[in-house]
Amino acid sequence: MKVWLTGGGGFIGSNVVRAGLDAGHEVLTTAATFTPPAGAGYAVDHLDMTNEAAVRASIEAFAPDLVINCAIMNDWGQMYGDREAAWAAYVEATRHSSAGAADVGATYVLVSTDWVFDGTQAGAHEETPPNPINFYGALKLASEMVALERGGAVARVSGVNGLHLARPTTIRAQDRGFGYFVASIVDALEVGETFTVWEAPEINMRSTPSLALECGEIMLMIGDKQADGVFHCCGADSVTRRELAELTCKVFDLDASLLRYGPPDPDSLMAAPIPHDSSLTTPRTQRVLGHAPTPVLELLQRFRLQREAEHPGQATHEIKDT
Ligand SMILES: NC(=O)c1ccc[n+]([C@@H]2O[C@H](COP(=O)([O-])OP(=O)(O)OC[C@H]3O[C@@H](n4cnc5c(N)ncnc54)[C@H](OP(=O)(O)O)[C@@H]3O)[C@@H](O)[C@H]2O)c1
C-alpha cells in the first residue's frame, strides 16, 4: 500500500510512519519543520497543511492508497489566541487532505481524540454523540464531520503513550492529559527521581490508554479494509492516572515508592475545561476491523520492549518533577 500522511515528524505521526514501514508500505509524510535523517526509508514533502493547492498536488503526485491526516496545531495558547488560524489548521486542513484523497480514490483517515466527549460520557463508543467542552474538542468534532461527510474514516486515539520516533527527546512531561505520561514516569524513576502524579477534578483523570505504534497499526487496518466511519484506536482498559502510574512501575520494574500524588502544576492549567473521564469502548472497531483491543498491561509490556530496542540503557529526556 502507498501511505501519504501529514505530521510524520510528530509523536503519533512518527509511529504511523514506523508502522507503515514495518508492514512494507511505501510512505510519504508532509512536514512543516521536520527533516528525517538520510536513509530513513520514506519520503518527505515540506508544505503547510493549510495550503490547499500544495496538499492536493502532493497527494496527486504520490497517488497513495491511504491518506492519514495526523498533523495538528498543538499549542493551546496559539489555538485560543488565533482562532481563525486554528480553524484553518484543523477544519480547513481536513477539507484539503480529504479532497486530495478523493482526487486519487484513496481511503481517508482523520486522526481525532477522546476529547470530543465531555468527560461525563465514560465508556463512549463510536456512535455515542460527542459533546466537546473546549475549543480543541470543537475543532476536532468539526474536522470529524468534514472527514465523515467526505466518506472518510475517523480514528480517535486516546491516552497515547509510547516513543516519539522522530525526535531524540520527549517533547513534554506530564500535562492535563495522558500523553507521554508513562515515558515521563519511567524517565524519572529509573534515575531515582520522584514523580508527582497529578490528581485533580479539573484534569483528565481517567482514560483508555493506547500505544502510539499500535494506533498507527490500527489506522493501517482501516486502510487495508478501505473502511469508513468512526473507529476508537485505543486499548481495552480504562484506568486512572494513579492506576497507570502503578502499573508502569510494575511492568518497568521501577520503585513505586518514588511516586507522589498531588495537585497539578498551576502553570499547566488553563481556563478551558478538560474532560475528567474520557474512557472509550471499541465495539464498532472490533466488529469492522476484527481487532480486539489490547489490555493495558500488554500495551505497557510492548512499550517497554520498544523503548529498550530504541534507547538501550538510557533515559530519553530530563524530567522536571513538581
Ligand atoms: N498526543 C496525544 O496524546 C493525543 C491524544 C489524542 C489525540 N491526538 C491527536 O493525534 C494527532 C497527532 O498528535 P501528536 O501529539 O502526535 O502531535 P505533535 O507531536 O505535536 O505533531 C504535530 C505535527 O503536526 C505538524 N504540523 C503542525 N503544523 C503544521 C502545518 N501548518 N503544516 C504541516 N504540518 C504541520 C508538525 O510538523 P513538523 O514536525 O514538521 O513541525 C508535527 O509533526 C493530532 O490529531 C491530535 O489531535 C493526540
CATH of the domain at 116: 3.40.50.720
- What is the number of structural domains in the chain? 1
Mean pLDDT score of the chain, rounded to an integer?
94
Res 266 pLDDT > 70: yes
In a domain? residue 322? no
Ligand 1 atom with minimal separation from the 72 CA: 24
CA 205 from chain centre, in angstroms, equals 17
Domain that holds residue 39: 2-167+209-238+274-296
As a whole number of angstroms, the distance between CA 255 and CA 182 comes to 14
Res 320 pLDDT > 60: no
Enter the C-alpha cell of residue 305. Answer: 520492549
Residue of 45, 59, 74, 160 best suited for mutating to test ligand 1, as the one with most atoms within 8 Å of CB: 74
- With a pLDDT cut of 70, the percent of the chain lying above it is 95
Res 130 pLDDT > 90: yes
Res 319 pLDDT > 60: no
In a domain? residue 70? yes
In a domain? residue 254? no
In a domain? residue 175? no
Res 322 pLDDT > 90: no
H/E run at residue 55: helix 52-62
CB of 160 sitting under 6 A from ligand 1: yes
In a domain? residue 53? yes
pTM: 0.95
Res 281 pLDDT > 70: yes
Res 269 pLDDT > 90: no
CB of 54 sitting under 6 A from ligand 1: no
CB of 80 sitting under 6 A from ligand 1: no
CB of 154 sitting under 6 A from ligand 1: no
In a domain? residue 111? yes
In a domain? residue 81? yes
In a domain? residue 319? no
- The per-residue pLDDT for range 286-306, each reduced to its tens digit, is 999 999 999 999 999 999 999
CA 170 from chain centre, in angstroms, equals 14
Enter the C-alpha cell of residue 217. Answer: 497499526
Q: What is the CA radius of gyration of the chain?
A: 19
- The per-residue pLDDT for range 8-28, each reduced to its tens digit, is 999 999 999 999 999 999 999
Ligand 1 atom with minimal separation from the 161 CA: 3
Q: Look at residue 284 in the predicted model and tell me its pLDDT.
A: 98
- The per-residue pLDDT for range 152-194, each reduced to its tens digit, is 999 999 999 999 999 876 666 788 999 999 999 999 999 999 9
Pick 197 or 174 by higher pLDDT. 197
Ligand 1 atom with minimal separation from the 110 CA: 45
Q: Which protein residue's CA is at the shortest distance from atom 42 of ligand 1?
A: 10
Q: Which protein residue's CA is at the shortest distance from atom 36 of ligand 1?
A: 7
